[in-house]
Amino acid sequence: MTFNSKAFIKAALAEDIGQGDFTSLACIDAEAQGTAKMLAKDTGIIAGIELAAMIYKQVDPDISFEPLAHDGKHVRYGNIIFMVSGKQQSLLMAERLVLNFMQRMSGIATMANLMVKTVEDYDVSILDTRKTTPTLRWFEKWAARIGGAQNHRMGLYDMVMIKDNHIDYAGGIDIAIKKVREYLKKNKLQLKIEIEARSISDVKRIVRIGSVDRIMLDNMDPDQIKSCVKLINGKFETEASGNIIIENVKEYAASGVNYISSGFITHSAGILDLSIKAVKYG
């Protein structure tokens, strides 16, 4: 699946501008030129600079955008992130959309980076999830990558994940795996298969059946996961998931799993406080 950023930015601008930015149209001369700067008002990982440049250029191709930082950089209060110059009306029209995206993306990148740094002494990868804001997944997962996390699947189409409800509806673990294998073969699809295990007995059954790539150990405590990892013994990739937050992620990392997926990265991230200020001369 490809993402049409131009169409999305156009829709986002239309939502904000509507019939016109009447405040700017009323009090700013149409040809007046100006410069503005983005300032960090907080400490964290900046994300969305590349997107900001895209927004400004879509609002007005004549705008000049000068980044003074890069996506993924650690910023502190008072750091200048970028300078932007052009028609004052254009700068004002783009301002809120740039801030909304960059504050949200930087908050996610900061949270992702904190989780990654917390487990850096362990051989484990931090993954995001599909617990994202509807229609904003592409940007939120972009932010998670900027922060150092890895993307899990982007949607329902790029990986098979047999979860508890699939298993229950299908009639059991054995049937679910069998049906998935048959479906992929029939439709000539080459997708990784992950299956959720809710107990050690589920893990034993999955190990016996095989035919999957990764076992998700869901809503288990670190000790249970450690036992499951030992039982799996490297035959399949392992992933810990379910209620994993910054306070307990290190315990899960110590269990020996290959991956830790956490919706906390996106659904519980705050914003990084940023502002855009006009530069006054003279």
Q: Summarize pLDDT for 4-32 with one digit per residue, the tens.
A: 889 999 999 999 999 999 999 999 999 99
* Residue recorded with tokens 């399949």: 236
Residues 82, 31 share a domain: yes
* pLDDT score recorded for residue 71: 98
* pTM confidence score: 0.95
118 C-beta neighbours (distance < 10 Å), count: 16
What CATH number does residue 195 fall under? Answer: 3.20.20.70
* pLDDT score recorded for residue 22: 96
Residues 156, 35 share a domain: no
Residues 257, 207 share a domain: yes
Q: Summarize pLDDT for 160-214 with one digit per residue, the tens.
A: 999 999 999 999 999 999 999 999 999 999 999 999 999 999 999 999 999 999 9
Helix (H) or strand (E) holding 256: none
Residues 167, 109 share a domain: no
What CATH number does residue 80 fall under? Answer: 3.90.1170.20
Residues 186, 53 share a domain: no
* Residue recorded with tokens 């509806």: 169
Residues 274, 262 share a domain: no
Residues in a beta bridge with 239: 216, 259
Residues 126, 81 share a domain: no
Residues 268, 270, 276, CA angle at the centre, nearest 5°? Answer: 155
Residues 125, 99 share a domain: no
For residue 105, give its domain range: 5-115+270-278
- Please give the Cα distance from 175 to 279 (Å, whole number): 65
Residues 86, 40 share a domain: yes
Residues written for the chain: 282
Residues 141, 262 share a domain: yes
Residues 55, 132 share a domain: no
Pairing outcome for strands 259-261 and 125-127: parallel
Name the band, by pLDDT with cuts 50, 70 and 90, for residue 3.
Answer: confident
Across the chain, where does the E strand assignment appear? 33-40, 44-45, 64-67, 74-75, 80-87, 125-127, 160-162, 193-197, 214-218, 237-241, 259-261, 274-278
Residues 259, 152 share a domain: yes
Domain count, the chain: 2
